[in-house]
Structure 1
Amino acid sequence: MESAHYTIDGEVLRVGLRGAWVLQGQQVYESPAAVLKERSGVERVAFDASALQQWDSRLVLFVLEVFQAARGKQIDTRGLPRQLLEWIALTEAGERFQAKTGPVNFFAHVGERAGDLWLSLAGYFRFLGEVVMALVNSVRGRAHWHWDDVLHFVQNTGIEALPIVSLISFLVGLILAFVGLVQLSQFGASLFVANLVGLAMVREMGAMMTGVIMAGRTGAAFAAAIGSMNVSEETDAFKVMAISPVEFLVIPRLLGLFLMMPLLCLYADFVGILGGIFVAVTLKGLSLVEYLNQTRGAIALNDIFTGLIKGTTFGFIIGFLGCYTGLRCERNSAAVGSSTTKAVVYSITALIVADAIFAVLFNALKV
């Protein structure tokens, strides 16, 4: 029996694979180049591996031979084993031909994406469970981390982030005050720019801008550091020594960022209000005392707590996603950059979604 048989279906040449394709075996098949030369009307080549029993690099060589013979034609590789395609993708020939696949069914594509999304969500919840268990072990005194590590990340995520947080918060407050003055001065209500800047910074912009800064600065750093450890198999070494990577690598980072984000938000609120004062006093000539009194009357204690709750939640989200993408980094150097990018994009997206949920929730609670 032939190990490869060819059937013609209109303009499609189907390559059926049978039996065992191993280096020690005997494979009987007609040359793909000869078959395609005889059948000049073929526009697309597809594979059928339903009768394939076992295979090794011998099958990889044959598939690459088909790729070479079908140069310039469409190649549908969906019938081949997934691991075989991964092997082929590592070869130079595979890089040239892997993009030349046939048309993908729309519903099949949607189904694959839905399956990937479900697996991703399952991975997030599994990692969340591991984090919760690590925190429980910490409370019981069984965790493999030290407070010195937490203090290190407190300094790294908090104190060392003050310059960039100061600059961005000051500019945000300055912009809010400038835009507000341009509009409010038309109605003779320039003093109410203090309300605008104060409430915007305390309730929204202070926590949001700090979160965006920390996602790009700290979340990316977490993903890059843990991803590099994953590539160099340091995380595997922890497992061999019966040390949980989640406990040793993730918990100190999460705690450090979780503790510092509320303080950074308060600091950002203060600096943003200073930016508003700078514009209002220098550009419009408002009285400093009047501005401060107006700001104090506009901001209530629940407004401050609203921003603190958001900032604390944002800190957990950033640390969680940064560590998750780092631990799920693939074992190659290019994957570290990809994981870092994912950490930033996922974190900023999650921050905006969380902020929208908070907005609806606080409005329903009349906070």
Structure 2
Amino acid sequence: MGSLLRITGEFRKLQLILCLWVLVTRNITLAQGNHQYNFVNRYNNPGHNGQQSWAPNHAQQSQPRQQQNATQYQGQHIAEQPRQFYCFSQTRNYDCTFREVVLDYNSVAPIFGNPQYTQYKKSVTFVDSRMEYLPKSLMNAFPNMNTLDASSLQIRSLQPAAFEFSNKLERLYLADNLIEQIARESFYGAPSVAVLALDRNRINYFEYYALGYMQNLRALYISSNEIPSMPGLSNSPKLEIVNASHNSLTQIGDNHFFGNSELRQLDLSFNQLTFFNMQQLHAKTKLISVDVSSNQLRELVIPTHVLKLFAENNSIDHVITHQQHCFIRELSLAQNKLRQQPDLSVCRSLNMLDLSYNLLESFNFGSLQSMINLTHVNLRNNRLLQIDLPTEFYYPLPITSLDL
């Protein structure tokens, strides 16, 4: 009987131990489950005080692609994929307009449009966009493009060989950007460009031979930059218009415009020119206007065929004309240092003459008798002490405006 009781007691102890073991095991499981739940919450939700808690690399994929150079995913380096932009509208002047294109130096060059359609587009522009450099992929996407307006995009540089296959491009507008340098190969591959606009940039270096590939160039606009010397133009025989005003030019070579027989308009105003031998312009039979005002010139040569010449605000004290021919109609020599009346007797077509704000002490109206079209003469603010009138006029002077 005693043995039976002892066995029963041992059995109850075993039952009690088993129950305790079951309870302990269950609590451990619950604790582990709570720990896993809390870890997941910390993984996916903001932590204390509204701060984002730790997250693995693949959780950062939601960041904008253009702000990431690459993405880490499960230990692998994934290169950034190029963005793709499409034409969103067609206007009167452009049949392809891109909107909100953003491109910086750390971005992969985007894809512009679908090649099946872009190959037929001929004129492209941008609105509400910013590109730190002009990518080669843009030109490659439009093999038949003849007009590109990339003005006001904050462009700082041109990607090397950006125009390598742009043989049909005729008009290139890059004005109002931040471009600082034009290299020798910048426009390689664009021989058909007729209009090049680079005005209002920050160009302080313009390689002399950079325009050597543009045999069809007709108009060059490079005003409002910091260009210290003119680029070579000898390979552009069709050139008609050059505007290089508001730069840092100091000299123009004696034969700089030798090969530009079609030249019509030349603007070199607001520079620092101390020397410009304008005799090289005598042979330009189509020359309409030349502006060299606001420089530091001391001598002025009046080109034979020029119709309008503006040379005010210099230090000119000597004026030279061709011995036999002079077709000028408007001549402004205001704000210079002329002490003697220039001999303009050969300039019979002169219509307007401005010699104001000089140092003239005398003036002879008899030298104007051959100018049968002269209507405006301005001699204001000189040091005139003597005015000579001829005793007999061969032709009555048609002057309708005279300022003394």
Q: TM-score under structure 1 normalisation?
A: 0.28
Structure having the higher Rg:
2
Q: Which has the higher helix share?
A: 1
Q: Which has the higher strand share?
A: 2
Q: TM-score under structure 2 normalisation?
A: 0.26
